[in-house]
Copies of this chain bind each other. A is one copy, B any other.
């Protein structure tokens, strides 16, 4: 290990097993700028296992103190891509990716991908499992089909179905990212520069060249205000132009959960119902069609500003559901699966309104924590079903949400969190009463 005596360089003692890139590593910690070669060596050594977790944590934290320049971020992304496999398709590849952080968001891609693919655009979406949330898109898709495939399988399946929703972690795409994610979970830190690098490295490894990024903004979301969101958006965009990716970034309403379900099985049900009916909770349909519409515009399938209505039309017409069946089938699931076939955890608790009034807020953080306490995402059948959204008027006794868990202990813990956080606030017309 490094033993530094004072500030005198001559007195520094290095252990014998130093990685070759250690000098670059040290300069990064001091906030010095590294070049493309530095990042290439550094990432190579990280993937080779030459850095331990403490060192990787230091590298991550350094990004908070000395933000990577645009150039450095570009070098880091390139280095992450170059250490892994690249899947090439010989045609433009599209994708839509949300930075997440809002409960209920994992199902959106299950609606976006078939809408886009049904117009012939190639959208082989690799998604993550939940990092800190109750459900990642891969967890939710796995309720309906297999999500773990090799790069070759993904290549062939994508060309057959035009759309996929698979787990990126099973592939050797940008393998440095797996290391970074593991350490990020341990230290609870996710520097914005590293988030941008992780997302774009995985997309480049899939040869994505037309990308829509979704940044949910709201209380209890990853990004809580528009200013931070705009900064993140500009980081994405400057890398996109550097890397030759055509990109649009949408800041989306993230003050409350998306749709009415949180947790893999519940979200899979809701996505399937929405695709089958061609309609569903307005917030969910609107979000999916907005994002799908932007991808359709990138693909020239719809003129600018008209993608949304085309996406809605594709959803309504049943074309999206037809495509989703093909995707399930190519991913070795049962295309005839019905929403009611999806098993939900047997222990249930329904929270009721204690008064007449208007739902004034639903707490993202409380819903996420409670869904995880109930068992999601490891227990796919666990989660939370919302019966109301912000702005709904309720009568005393009306159901607000139902928690699903596989054991009483988990159910009780989830209920405790919901009550402690006052997860669903119902306000009456009388705000305060004197005396």
Q: Which residues of A does B touch, CB under 8 Å?
A: 217, 226, 229-230, 233-234, 237, 248-253, 282-283, 286-287, 290, 294, 308, 312, 356-358, 390-393, 427-435
| Complex CA distance for A294 and B358, rounded to whole angstroms | 20
B283 touches A233 (CB 8 A): no
Q: Which residues of B contact A308 (CB under 8 A)?
A: 356
* A248, A287, A431: residue with the most chain B Cβ atoms closer than 10 Å: A431
Interface of A is mostly: mixed
B287 touches A432 (CB 8 A): no
* Distance from A286 Cβ to chain B, minimum over Cβ atoms (Å): 5
Q: Which residues of B contact A248 (CB under 8 A)?
A: 433-435
A248-B433, A252-B431 given; 5 more Cβ-contact pairs under 8 Å:
A229-B432, A248-B434, A251-B432, A282-B356, A286-B356
The chain B residue sitting closest to A214, CB to CB, is B430
B283 touches A430 (CB 8 A): no
The chain B residue sitting closest to A286, CB to CB, is B429
* Distance from A77 Cβ to chain B, minimum over Cβ atoms (Å): 19
| Complex CA distance for A312 and B233, rounded to whole angstroms | 50
A250 touches B433 (CB 8 A): yes
B283 touches A251 (CB 8 A): no
Can you name 16 A-B pairs with beta carbons within 8 Å? A217-B431, A226-B432, A229-B432, A234-B434, A237-B434, A249-B435, A250-B433, A253-B431, A282-B356, A282-B358, A283-B393, A286-B356, A286-B428, A312-B356, A358-B391, A391-B392
B435 touches A290 (CB 8 A): no
The chain B residue sitting closest to A431, CB to CB, is B251
Given contacts A233-B434, A237-B434, A434-B233, contact A253 B429 (CB under 8 A): yes
The chain B residue sitting closest to A392, CB to CB, is B391
* Distance from A44 Cβ to chain B, minimum over Cβ atoms (Å): 33
Q: Which residues of B contact A430 (CB under 8 A)?
A: 250-253, 290
Q: Which residues of B contact A233 (CB under 8 A)?
A: 434
B230 touches A432 (CB 8 A): yes
Given contacts A282-B393, A391-B358, A391-B390, contact A252 B434 (CB under 8 A): no
| Complex CA distance for A428 and B429, rounded to whole angstroms | 27
| Complex CA distance for A393 and B283, rounded to whole angstroms | 8
| Complex CA distance for A251 and B392, rounded to whole angstroms | 21
* A226, A248, A430: residue with the most chain B Cβ atoms closer than 10 Å: A430
Q: Which residues of B contact A429 (CB under 8 A)?
A: 252-253, 283, 286-287, 290
Q: Which residues of B contact A357 (CB under 8 A)?
A: 286
Residue from B217, B234, B251, B433 in contact with A251 in the complex, judged by beta carbons closer than 8 Å = B433
| Complex CA distance for A56 and B382, rounded to whole angstroms | 70
| Complex CA distance for A226 and B217, rounded to whole angstroms | 27
* A237, A393, A432: residue with the most chain B Cβ atoms closer than 10 Å: A432
| Complex CA distance for A290 and B251, rounded to whole angstroms | 39
| Complex CA distance for A340 and B274, rounded to whole angstroms | 40
| Complex CA distance for A391 and B253, rounded to whole angstroms | 13
- In the A-B complex, the 4 residue pairs with the smallest Cβ-Cβ separation, listed nearest first, are A391-B391, A282-B393, A251-B432, A249-B434
| Complex CA distance for A234 and B431, rounded to whole angstroms | 15
B391 touches A431 (CB 8 A): no
Q: Which residues of B contact A237 (CB under 8 A)?
A: 434-435
* Distance from A384 Cβ to chain B, minimum over Cβ atoms (Å): 21
Q: Which residues of B contact A390 (CB under 8 A)?
A: 391
Q: Which residues of B contact A435 (CB under 8 A)?
A: 237, 248-249
Q: Which residues of B contact A286 (CB under 8 A)?
A: 356-357, 393, 428-429
Q: Which residues of B contact A431 (CB under 8 A)?
A: 217, 226, 251-253
